[in-house]
Amino acid sequence: MKPFTYERAADARAAVKAAAETPGARFIAGGTNLLDLMKLEIEAPQHLIDVSRLPMAAIEAEGEGLRIGAMATNSQVAGHAEVRRRYPVLTQAIVSGASGQLRNRATTGGNLMQRTRCPYFYDASKPCNKREPGAGCAALEGVSRETAILGASHACVAVHPSDMAVALVALDAEVETLTPSGEARRFPLMELHRLPGETPHLETHLIPGELITAVVLPPPPEGGQRYRKARDRASYATAHASIAVAGGKVALGGVAHKPWRAVTAEAALAAGASPDEAMTAELAEAQAIGENAFKLPLTARLGAATIREARGETP
């Protein structure tokens, strides 16, 4: 691990000001992803700003919805009575991710900002445009079992690892942030992450130094909610494919560079299509590379089955 300096932020405004003014600065809270990347020297921030003790861990009502502070841990969110009662898809998604120990430490804001688990991103001896822009993408002609089938580009085929974010996209959640100028922003969470295009190293639409302060959930949608995930083992494994259903809203995970809002499937369902027909429509433009071809039928079957389950229909 390369040397770095450290400070503990006294308040959110001081944190974003320090991040904007200090070259190579990064925020750290739970550190469950960043510290691993620092140990491997995949990331080498020059300065860490500890935001873990900022008073942003409350989970409280906001109108008829719910506001989740960015410092609330994944375990706190998943176990919260109102989340379990009104947003069960979020609890299901969170508990399917990582391990109990990591969920006890990982924060809501950090979960959204975690980076891909693509093996070539983690291997500094291999080319990776996400790690080193312009280097190339080793996954295109290498081990491709975990790569994207939607929204990928010739520059990057990595997938986003978060389960929580998939459920939040299906729930139409919004993100609150604080910019270095001291202004608060609020925008749909589905607009937080970018597709790779020509710049896969730019993963979100946040400006440098901007800090996520909360996630806001609208009133729960009418209809059933369900999250399902297909993976190699029952715990501590990222998704080959996952799906969150919240009423008439559908989001996919493990198949794209960002949580994938399945708007084509949603429109098909609203028009009276069956779950199988809706998933076929959603995946019409999906593209497999090498070893990940199994993701197409897997995602289609998993998606249709989960939609039926959320509706209370017999599989």
Between CA 201 and CA 204 the distance in angstroms is 9
Q: Which residues contact 95 (CB under 8 A, 6 or more apart)?
A: 78, 103
Q: 253 - beta bridge partners? A: 242
Query: How far are the Cα atoms of 3, 104, 120, 236, 306 from residue 99, in angstroms, in the given order?
Result: 29, 9, 23, 5, 23
The gap from C-alpha 91 to its chain's centroid, in whole angstroms, comes to: 14
Which tokens in the block code for residue 184? 């608060």
Encode the chain (315 residues) as per-residue pLDDT tens digits.
899 999 999 999 999 999 999 999 999 999 999 999 999 999 999 999 999 999 999 999 999 999 999 999 999 999 999 999 999 999 999 999 999 999 999 999 999 999 999 999 999 999 999 999 999 999 999 999 999 999 999 999 999 999 999 999 999 999 999 999 999 999 999 999 999 999 999 999 999 999 999 999 999 999 999 999 999 998 889 999 999 999 999 999 999 999 999 999 999 999 999 999 999 999 999 999 999 999 999 999 999 999 999 999 976
Q: What is the pLDDT of residue 314?
A: 78
Q: What is the pLDDT of residue 136?
A: 98
The gap from C-alpha 127 to its chain's centroid, in whole angstroms, comes to: 24
Task: Judge contact between 13 and 182, C-beta under 8 A.
Answer: yes
Q: 292 - beta bridge partners? A: none
Between CA 154 and CA 187 the distance in angstroms is 29
Query: How far are the Cα atoms of 15, 138, 151, 210 from residue 194, in angstroms, in the given order?
Result: 24, 20, 10, 16
Which helix H or strand E contains 43, and what residues bound it? none
Between CA 228 and CA 239 the distance in angstroms is 10
The gap from C-alpha 293 to its chain's centroid, in whole angstroms, comes to: 23
Query: How far are the Cα atoms of 31, 166, 312 from residue 85, in angstroms, in the given order?
Result: 29, 19, 17
Q: What is the pLDDT of residue 315?
A: 66
The gap from C-alpha 88 to its chain's centroid, in whole angstroms, comes to: 17
Evaluate the CA torsion angle 173, 185, 205, 45 in order and state its sign: negative
Give the predicted TM-score (pTM) of the model: 0.97
Q: At 220, which amino acid appears? A: P
109: phi then psi, degrees, rounded to nearest 5:
-65, -40
Task: Judge contact between 294 and 286, C-beta under 8 A.
Answer: no
Task: Judge contact between 133 and 199, C-beta under 8 A.
Answer: yes
Task: Judge contact between 173 and 189, C-beta under 8 A.
Answer: yes
Opening angle at CA 16, ends 177 and 202, nearest 5: 65
